[in-house]
Structure 1
Amino acid sequence: MAKWAIDRSITRILRKIGILGFNKKRNIYGINPFLISTSYILLTLALAHLARRLVEKYVDDSKETIKNLLFEFIATLELCSCCFELIIDNWGVFAYAIYLLLLTIWWSSKWGNASACPYAPVEEILEGNRCLKDALKIICTQLAAAFLTFRYIQILWSFELVETHMNKAYEECTADLQVDMISGAIVEATLTCFCRLASKILGETSLKYSNIVDAIFGTLMVVAAFNFSGGYFNPALATSLKFGCIGNSFAEHIVVYWIGAFLGSAIAIIIFNSNIVQNKINTCKSKEE
């Protein structure tokens, strides 16, 4: 009798704080769908972390190229999978922004040299640090992971544990582009440029929490672009989530999410390497010393 009373009290508390109390026919045990989505994200992070550990352990350092490509594959799959679960329509922009911020901070401490973003190796080409052949290998690896992501997500969604996953595994997706193609490309290019410029400048400082500042700035840019282009700033991510979706033609997708992002990235390099910016960075470094 006492155990039954305790169980009822616990259930009542869980209902009050929003963990339980949802439709049991559409949500397993009446659990809040948000918690299941969070669990899927945590599962993905754990699997990616395990995969990285296995690569570190079993792939010899002499096979550096293969090792780096595997890290890129894991990082891209991890990024795209988590963003698939952060469906704006379900939880709103605020929840999306908070989760994206926390995830970005986590990834900045776990990915190492992996970028999960196709314009990163192209930036290295422009700066003379990578050859075209190696860059293409990385981009192809990232795209392979991006396209494979939905198969992984389909498995999770097909269990339909909660109402927000009902029919999601096989339904048609819709485009996020809310403006014309050129305007969308300008938005992606401009804010990608801001993000890359901020990252590069912060990377040159001795700021203790530069990764957190960078994550906050990037998240704000995503929120700013949300009602225009969706705010992807990453061709692999945009391709994984929105390629072939209703409302976007092939040309629109390429121009907005690929050309736009690559252009913004290239402009960021030009600005960053300009005498004005470099002199300012050197002045700040001298003051810090």
Structure 2
Amino acid sequence: MEVLWGSALLLAVAVLLCEGMRALSRRKFRPGLALELCMELVCTLQLCCCVRELALLGARGVLHPLLSLCLTYLLTMLHSLTCPAACNPCSSLQLWLRGEAAAKDTALRVGAQLAGAQVSRLVMPLLWSCGLSPLHRNVPGCESPLRIGSLPGAGYEMFCALCLYLLLCNLNRLQPPLRPHLVAALITSLVYTGGHLTGAVFNPALAFSIVFSCEGNTLLEYMFVYWLGPVIGKSSPFLPFHICSKFLLSTDEAMQDPRRAPIYCDLIPWSSSLPSSASSYNVKILVAVFKRML
């Protein structure tokens, strides 16, 4: 019990420090790119610190599997309610691939997320040195969570990222109070089903913080599984439509109204909130594809 209370105190300190930095950033910067970058850095720092502490508890065998899942759910809820940022390079790359963000802004956002992950690797040893828990007095090196081959590992990370993407695209169909619970339930389920295979990270910044320094696999293997896998998973629903729109629909209508060119997640067929213009554009892409096939 002393171990759990010490870890809870450390998590509270980390969250409060990050909340203070978010409040300071809101006072210092006006709404815009600079504030977004600060939020990405601080929120990614909070996410990585919390997950690193949870990973330490799991590696030491302190947590019962059911308690570990409960903590995963609660930490996901906490992150959803306190962090107004993506904290995931895949989401930033999505905006660029869909034409909703400039390449420079995307690079800055990804850089801020990776910077937050790197800062967590420096901050957590300092917090552990405070000795809030007996577990923190001698923190060992970590072992790779990748227990399967690189290809199936990347496949599972891709599957996790795809599931999360599809859920986020359809959250507007739910009442706002239910949305964090559903996201937390999905992430907890993915951790339960695949945590023993890859760790179920599906976030390149988080993987950079908690996995890349672990022994057991090479850097290229980590990049293939934990970077390429999630990027493909989050891009696969809309990228084929985006490619088709570029090569098959060079019409005057699309040129005159650029807002209809990007393919949004609302264009997924099972979404209930299809804009009429977006829906017609989606249909045109499908018609053009079938014409080329015939």
* Coarse TM-score class (shorter-chain normalised): 0.7 to 0.9
Q: Is the 8 A contact 1:195 1:221 kept in 2?
A: no
SS in 2 for 1:67: helix
1:220-235 maps to which residues of 2 (within 5 A)?
220-235=189-204
Give the aligned partner of residue 261 of structure 1: 230
Structure 2 segments unaligned to the other structure (5+ residues): 241-264, 276-294
Say which of 107, 127, 132 aligns to 2:79: 107
Counterparts in 2 of 1:164-243, with a 5 A limit? 164-168=135-139, 171-206=140-175, 208-243=177-212
Residue ranges of structure 1 left out of the alignment (5+ in a row): 1-18, 20-31, 284-289
Amino acid at match of 1:69: L
**2:98 and 2:165 mapped to 1: Cα distance?**
14
Alignment check: 8 A CA contact 1:125 1:131 kept: yes
The secondary structure found in structure 1 opposite 2:99 is: coil
> Is 1:248 the equivalent of 2:248?
no
Tell me whether 81-90 or 200-209 shows the greater mean CA deviation: 200-209
Against the structure 1 CA distance between its residues 275 and 120, is the aligned structure 2 distance closer, same or farther, given a 3 Å change threshold? closer
Q: CA offsets per residue over residues 160-196 of structure 1, 9 Å max, x none?
A: 343322321xx32210000010010001001110111
Which of 19, 28, 33 is 1:65 aligned to? 33
Partner of 2:134: 163
Question: Structure 1 counterpart of 2:128, which letter?
Answer: W
What does the per-residue CA deviation read over 1:100-148, in whole Å, with 9 as the maximum and x for residues that have no partner? 2122222222222x11111011111122211111111011111111111
TM-score by length of 1: 0.79
Q: Deviations over 1:42-80 (max 9, x none)?
A: 11111111111111112234xx21111011000000000
How far residue 255 of structure 1 moved from its aligned partner, in angstroms, is 0.5
Q: 1:69, 1:141 within 8 Å by CA — same for their partners in 2?
A: yes
Which of the residues 97, 122, 127 maps onto 1:151? Answer: 122
Residue range with higher mean Cα deviation, 156-165 or 247-256:
156-165
Over aligned residues, Cα RMSD in angstroms?
2.0
Aligned residue number for residue 29 of structure 1: none
In the alignment, which residue of structure 2 is the partner of 1:78? Answer: 46
Structure-2 residue corresponding to 1:119: 90
Q: Does the CA-based 8 Å contact 2:14-2:49 persist in structure 1?
A: yes
Report if aligned partners of 2:7, 2:132 keep a CA contact under 8 Å in 1. Answer: no
Partner of 1:167: helix, strand, or coil?
Answer: coil
**CA pair 214-48 structure 1, distance change in 2 beyond 3 A:** same
User: Equivalent pairs: percent with the same residue?
Assistant: 25
Amino acid at match of 1:117: N
Cα distance between partner residues in 2 of 1:144 and 1:55: 16
CA 183–275 in structure 1, closer or farther in 2 if over 3 Å, else same: closer
Q: Residues 281 and 218 (structure 1 numbering): CA distance in 2 closer, same or farther, change over 3 Å?
A: farther
Using the TM superposition, give the Cα deviation of residue 204 of structure 1 relative to its aligned residue in structure 2, in angstroms.
4.5
Report the TM-score, using the length of structure 2 for normalisation: 0.78
